[in-house]
Chains A and B, each alone.
Chain A
Amino acid sequence: MSIAPEGVDPVKALFPIFKSHPELIYLDSNATSQKPEIVVEAIDRYYRSENANVHRGIYQLSENATRTFEESRIRIAKYINAETQEIIFTRGTTEAINLVANSAGQAFLRPGDEIVVTVAEHHSNIVPWQMAAERFGVTVKYIPLRADRRLDLDAARTLINSKTRIVSLAHVSNVLGVIHPIRDIIKMAKAVGALTMIDGAQGLPHLPVDVKELDCDFYAFSGHKVFGPTGIGVLYGRKTLLQAMPPYQGGGDMIEKVTLHGSTWNELPSKFEAGTPHIEGVIGLGAAIDFLKSMPMDSLLNHDRHLGTYLTHRLKEEFPRVQIMVEPGDDWVGTVTMAHPNIHPHDLAAVCDGENIAIRAGHHCAQPLMEILGVTATARVSPSLYNDESDIDAFLAALRKAEKLFLS
């Protein structure tokens, strides 16, 4: 059985979860990835021997913690080609988008402006903009999909116009696994002077990211989807913009001076990091970025795409009833989302669970997209580097079992 293309080792051994659950077949990496040993170790080491608050103590332990913490920031900045001050730690992609919707909204949105997103967004890239629309008196417009479920760039060209202030879209769709043509969209936005925000939650796990080359204004991602811890994420923001934006939350760390009459803000990035940060999260994320760096990204992408293609082909051959939401392509990371006319996705996921296979069932936090796909819920298989063809075979066997159970 083929495992990974050249350059990627058989990697299950690097992930402690598979030692605790050797039988586990984990096919839900778009929801969250499993964590490699080096990430678990970094967090463990921090609590066992490095724990102290950061940016505060005038003692060795705190200074060391601060150094490890800030070194993570430097490594993350380098990895996506940003300046260190442009890396803001957040709880995840969701908080990063909310930060931009609020602070950039306050700084740059005027009544009558338009925000453009796509219909294929995760709720976290829709709801904060709808809230901003209420708050700032602006409107949200949606770029539609073509019949092949790729973004309709012609429609985008008219939707993105002189009224547009912010364009925000996913690098990669969490439901369809389609890599959006963000370079084209960013160009369209630049041409009309709009700001661009890229939701990279599913981008960073599959693609190399260079924010300067992309020329986007904001890029967000979540640690837990790139082999790092939960509760930590990153907002990259162009320095000049971050400087012009008001803080998102108030508290410790983010201030320069506080008096009873008012306060002044700290420098970047502290201005946007109120309170004691998620220290072990940042340290764990630093380790996760080291892990990513050790993986040749193109073979990672090829690996996941290969497994998704393999699954798609076998579904078509052996399960003609199954409706598959997108065709594989070069603009695709291997996510396979499907609907079975006779088996509810919950039931399929439950049968899979009985075989120790983890898949996702539901609307995947993308209800508008589900409506467009004409389904209420779907089942999703999202492979990652610790999967191989035998995992896909096991899923297909579970699907056959479910058919037997529900169709007989």
Chain B
Amino acid sequence: MNEEWKALILDHYKHPRFYGPKEDFAFASEQHNRTCGDHVKVFASLEGKFSQWSFVGAGCSLCLASASLMMELLQNQTKDAVEAIRDENRSMWDGGIDFETASRPLWQALDGLRQYPVRSRCVKLAWQALDEILVSWNSLDISIA
């Protein structure tokens, strides 16, 4: 990881964005990494089509920075946009994104991590929560429709 991205990770780790529980959440998901005890809980509330996000958790720098960076990406997005971000994140792990030209700093910051499978679990924790939330969000939409 280069110095610039290291600094970004450290910044988000020390000053996590959108940190704190939500009272009025529509969805929440808590994920644990059993190998190190890290845990992250992600909350989402809805205002019409738009989503607001926050998280709480304890973990290493990558785990918490990843959650914090995810918050920035998801804030005020519609479900379609959230799903697109989730898909982009997935394809990053599958090697489907060229990091040199990647638009999102998170993807770039996390380049190089794929070679550390143990730590990739730290990074993915918040994203697993997102997966679970999207499942609930989708089933909510189906039941409303």
Which residues on A are within 8 Å of B, measured CB to CB? 344-347, 350, 361-363, 367, 370, 375-377, 405-406
Within 8 A of A (CB), among B72-127: 118-119, 122
User: How many Å from the CB of B48 to the closest CB on chain A?
Assistant: 38
7 closest Cβ pairs, A-B complex: A376-B37, A344-B60, A346-B60, A377-B36, A347-B61, A347-B60, A362-B35
Q: A405-B10, A406-B61 are in contact. Are A346 and B37 (CB under 8 A)?
A: no
B37-A377 in contact (CB<8A): yes
Choice from A347, A363, A406 contacting B37 with Cβ under 8 Å: A363
Q: In the complex the two chains form, what is the Cα distance from A345 to B38 in whole Å?
A: 11
At the interface, yes or no: B21 with Cβ under 8 Å from chain A?
no
Choice from A350, A375, A376, A406 contacting B38 with Cβ under 8 Å: A376
Q: Which residues of chain A come closer than 8 Å to B35, judged between CB atoms?
A: 362-363, 377
Q: In the complex the two chains form, what is the Cα distance from A406 to B65 in whole Å?
A: 13
B10-A344 in contact (CB<8A): no
Q: Which residues of chain B come closer than 8 Å to A367, judged between CB atoms?
A: 34
Q: In the complex the two chains form, what is the Cα distance from A346 to B58 in whole Å?
A: 13
Q: In the complex the two chains form, what is the Cα distance from A128 to B122 in whole Å?
A: 28
B61-A361 in contact (CB<8A): no
A346-B10 in contact (CB<8A): no
A376-B119 in contact (CB<8A): no
Q: Which residues of chain B come closer than 8 Å to A376, judged between CB atoms?
A: 36-38
User: How many Å from the CB of B118 to the closest CB on chain A?
Assistant: 8
At the interface, yes or no: B62 with Cβ under 8 Å from chain A?
yes
30 contacts between A and B (CB under 8 A): A344-B36, A344-B38, A344-B59, A345-B36, A345-B60, A346-B36, A346-B60, A346-B62, A346-B119, A346-B122, A347-B60, A347-B61, A347-B62, A350-B119, A361-B36, A362-B35, A362-B36, A362-B118, A363-B34, A363-B35, A363-B36, A370-B37, A375-B37, A376-B36, A376-B37, A377-B35, A377-B36, A377-B37, A377-B38, A406-B10
User: How many Å from the CB of A99 to the closest CB on chain B?
Assistant: 26
User: How many Å from the CB of A380 to the closest CB on chain B?
Assistant: 13
User: How many Å from the CB of B89 to the closest CB on chain A?
Assistant: 20
User: Which residue of the partner chain B has the closest CB to A405?
Assistant: B10
Q: In the complex the two chains form, what is the Cα distance from A362 to B34 in whole Å?
A: 9
User: Which residue of the partner chain B has the closest CB to A361?
Assistant: B36
Q: Which residues of chain B come closer than 8 Å to A362, judged between CB atoms?
A: 35-36, 118
Q: Which residues of chain B come closer than 8 Å to A375, judged between CB atoms?
A: 37
Mark interface residues in B21-64 (1 if CB within 8 Å of A CB, else 0): 00000000000001111100000000000000000000111100
Q: In the complex the two chains form, what is the Cα distance from A363 to B36 in whole Å?
A: 6
Q: Which residues of chain B come closer than 8 Å to A347, judged between CB atoms?
A: 60-62
User: How many Å from the CB of B31 to the closest CB on chain A?
Assistant: 14
User: Which residue of the partner chain A has the closest CB to B37?
Assistant: A376
User: How many Å from the CB of B121 to the closest CB on chain A?
Assistant: 10
User: How many Å from the CB of A351 to the closest CB on chain B?
Assistant: 10
User: Which residue of the partner chain B has the closest CB to A375?
Assistant: B37
User: Which of B37, B38, B119 counts the most chain A CB atoms within 10 A?
Assistant: B37
User: How many Å from the CB of B59 to the closest CB on chain A?
Assistant: 7
Q: In the complex the two chains form, what is the Cα distance from A370 to B37 in whole Å?
A: 10
Q: Which residues of chain A come closer than 8 Å to B37, judged between CB atoms?
A: 363, 370, 375-377
User: Which residue of the partner chain A has the closest CB to B10?
Assistant: A405
Q: Which residues of chain B come closer than 8 Å to A350, judged between CB atoms?
A: 119
Q: In the complex the two chains form, what is the Cα distance from A346 to B118 in whole Å?
A: 9
Q: In the complex the two chains form, what is the Cα distance from A362 to B10 in whole Å?
A: 20
User: Which residue of the partner chain B has the closest CB to A350?
Assistant: B119
User: How many Å from the CB of A82 to the closest CB on chain B?
Assistant: 36
Q: Which residues of chain A come closer than 8 Å to B13, judged between CB atoms?
A: 406
User: How many Å from the CB of B13 to the closest CB on chain A?
Assistant: 8
Q: In the complex the two chains form, what is the Cα distance from A22 to B34 in whole Å?
A: 34
User: Which of A346, A377, A405 counts the most chain B CB atoms within 10 A?
Assistant: A346
User: How many Å from the CB of A346 to the closest CB on chain B?
Assistant: 4
Given contacts A345-B36, A362-B35, A406-B10, 7 further A-B contacts (CB under 8 A): A344-B36, A344-B59, A345-B60, A346-B119, A363-B36, A363-B37, A377-B38
User: How many Å from the CB of B63 to the closest CB on chain A?
Assistant: 8
User: Which residue of the partner chain A has the closest CB to B64?
Assistant: A344
Q: In the complex the two chains form, what is the Cα distance from A63 to B46 in whole Å?
A: 75
Q: In the complex the two chains form, what is the Cα distance from A363 to B35 in whole Å?
A: 6
Q: In the complex the two chains form, what is the Cα distance from A405 to B10 in whole Å?
A: 8
User: How many Å from the CB of B82 to the closest CB on chain A?
Assistant: 28
User: How many Å from the CB of B61 to the closest CB on chain A?
Assistant: 5
Q: Which residues of chain B come closer than 8 Å to A346, judged between CB atoms?
A: 36, 60-62, 119, 122
User: Which residue of the partner chain B has the closest CB to A345?
Assistant: B36
Q: Which residues of chain A come closer than 8 Å to B118, judged between CB atoms?
A: 362
User: How many Å from the CB of A277 to the closest CB on chain B?
Assistant: 30
Q: In the complex the two chains form, what is the Cα distance from A106 to B61 in whole Å?
A: 48
User: How many Å from the CB of A79 to the closest CB on chain B?
Assistant: 35
User: Which of B13, B14, B61, B118 counts the most chain A CB atoms within 10 A?
Assistant: B61
Q: Which residues of chain A come closer than 8 Å to B119, judged between CB atoms?
A: 346, 350
User: Which residue of the partner chain A has the closest CB to B62?
Assistant: A346
